[in-house]
Amino acid sequence: MTGPASAASAAELVIMEEEHAAHNYHPLPVVIASGEGAWVTDVDGRRYLDCLAAYSAVNFGHSHPVLLEAAREQLGRITLTSRAFHSDRLGPFVEELAALAGKDMVLPMNTGAEAVESGIKVARAWGYRVKGVAPGRATIIVADGNFHGRTTTIVSFSDDPTARDDFGPFTPGFVRVPYGDADALGRAIDDTTVAVLLEPIQGEAGIIVPPAGYLARVRELCTENEVLFIADEIQSGLGRTGATFACDLVGVVPDVYLLGKALGGGIVPVSAVVANRDILGVLRPGEHGSTFGGNPLAAAVGTAVVRMLATGEMQSRATLLGERLQRRLGELLGHGVVAVRGAGLWAGIDIDPALGTGRQVCELLMERGVLAKDTHGSTIRLAPPIVIDPEDLDWAVDQLSAVLGELGAAVPTAAPAAVSR
């Protein structure tokens, strides 16, 4: 480890963070210093298998040589110009990303939440300027259990009390319906509806896969009612589910893709709104922007990511490894696991609450050298880098099985029922 904190112990580094960083996260007590592929190493030299991949931002592994080379080469040239000027990196990036998505245009931003906010603005402008919705009346339909980010506007349409409590007043203009219920969505559409914003698979909610036919019906409803279908593929897209986009798994093409996380290769924040010209073309100079959006460093790394995905190798790998992961996790059903969901190399695992919480399972996995993340009490998520070795993937499931066995052994056996006489 190098740098000003190199002489500090793990405990000292945690204290520094706890003392001076806002407590908006509750991390596991591991202090990571380096990483390569699917593995990370802490300040004491202990290695851990990363089965979170920064919520899919590290889909291609830590320190991927192709992505590092793209970043290093650009670092030596220029990193930021702002969009006040053209750069030699932005054109190739947006052209190749648009081609990957089968669309015309790209609005480059930085974080996933910025992509969502940008998509909302674009949808509203389209609603007023193209569809003809009355000024100030545009509404967007969203789903229960959604997670699109944590800005004030986005938490306005969340149903998670942790995201909402004490952060009002909230932004109007959103209608929430049950996820997976196309009939409810159809009933919610009216003359003010400009878009439907959905995660094709809900990530933060616990890798919730919608019912068969749901996304196709959403597509039909949007087409029938002249409403934009916006797919938030920030976590599900770019190879994670075994396809370039999760929508591809069911043959559905949305009007707008929201992308982020893996688009920056785990090196820099890169996000984008991707759509055709008749949608993104509604924006006029000065109406939207970002000092860092589309910067040369981000564009160089993003282009390398797009070219990697264009070969299809990562998608195929996620499909094969995902089948292996789902098969192995299925063996744990009834042995401390009550449900398994997922697509590609992405799994939500519901732990039997009688054994413990998702956080407790993740803490015990950490002790065994596996890093994972809990959500909503009893659920844990596995999303290892797509470059993970099959043997390492099996080893991670073995550790989960061992943890469940430990917890099961610790649960007191119920006393025999009294016999009536």
CATH number, residue 375: 3.90.1150.10
- Say whether both 238 and 364 belong to one domain: no
- Indicate the pTM of the whole model: 0.95
Query: Rounded to an integer, what distance in angstroms lies between the CA atom of residue 285 and that of residue 161?
Result: 37
- Say whether both 55 and 69 belong to one domain: no
Q: Identify the pLDDT of residue 30.
A: 98
Q: Is residue 376 part of a domain?
A: yes
Percent of the chain with pLDDT over 90: 95
Q: Residue 185 pLDDT more than 90?
A: yes
- Say whether both 252 and 150 belong to one domain: yes
- Give the domain extent around 83: 65-312
Cβ burial of 413 (10 Å; 0-12, 13-18, 19+) is exposed
**Exactly one of 232, 255, 350, 374 is catalytic; which is it?**
232
Q: Is 45 left (phi over 0), alpha (psi -120 to 50) or beta?
A: left
Confidence band, pLDDT 50/70/90 cuts, at residue 6? low
Mean pLDDT of the chain: 95
**Exactly one of 60, 93, 147, 174 is catalytic; which is it?**
147
Query: In total, how many domains does the chain have?
Result: 2
- Say whether both 365 and 299 belong to one domain: no
- Say whether both 281 and 338 belong to one domain: no
Q: Identify the pLDDT of residue 236.
A: 98
Q: Of 312, 340, 370, at which residue does a domain stop?
A: 312
- Say whether both 42 and 25 belong to one domain: yes
Q: Of 262, 293, 312, at which residue does a domain stop?
A: 312
Q: Is residue 371 part of a domain?
A: yes
Q: Strand pairing partners for 42?
A: 32
Q: Is residue 413 part of a domain?
A: no
Query: Rounded to an integer, what distance in angstroms lies between the CA atom of residue 66 and that of residue 138?
Result: 44
Q: Of 312, 341, 368, at which residue does a domain stop?
A: 312
- Say whether both 154 and 292 belong to one domain: yes
Q: Tell me which of 125-134, 170-179, 288-297, 406-415 is least confident.
A: 406-415
For the question of residue 131 being annotated catalytic, the response is no
Q: Is 37 left (phi over 0), alpha (psi -120 to 50) or beta?
A: left
Confidence band, pLDDT 50/70/90 cuts, at residue 67? very high
Q: Is residue 173 part of a domain?
A: yes
- Say whether both 249 and 359 belong to one domain: no
Q: Tell me which of 41-50, 138-147, 308-317, 407-416 is least confident.
A: 407-416
Q: Is residue 4 part of a domain?
A: no
Q: Residue 418 pLDDT more than 70?
A: no
Q: Identify the pLDDT of residue 412.
A: 67
Percent of the chain with pLDDT over 70: 96
As a whole number, mean pLDDT of residues 341-356 equals 97
Q: Residue 291 pLDDT more than 80?
A: yes
- Say whether both 69 and 142 belong to one domain: yes
Among 341, 273, 318, residue whose Cα is nearest residue 61: 318
Q: What is the residue type of 333?
A: L
Confidence band, pLDDT 50/70/90 cuts, at residue 4? very low
Q: Is residue 418 part of a domain?
A: no
Q: Is residue 212 part of a domain?
A: yes
Q: Identify the pLDDT of residue 419.
A: 31
CATH number of the CATH domain containing 247: 3.40.640.10
- Say whether both 124 and 206 belong to one domain: yes
Confidence band, pLDDT 50/70/90 cuts, at residue 7? confident
For the question of residue 232 being annotated catalytic, the response is yes
Q: Is residue 419 part of a domain?
A: no
For the question of residue 261 being annotated catalytic, the response is yes
Q: Residue 25 pLDDT more than 70?
A: yes
Q: 230-259, pLDDT tens digit by residue?
A: 999 999 999 999 999 999 999 999 999 999
- Say whether both 325 and 288 belong to one domain: no
Q: What is the residue type of 141?
A: I
**Exactly one of 261, 292, 350, 374 is catalytic; which is it?**
261
As a whole number, mean pLDDT of residues 183-207 equals 98
- Say whether both 319 and 286 belong to one domain: no
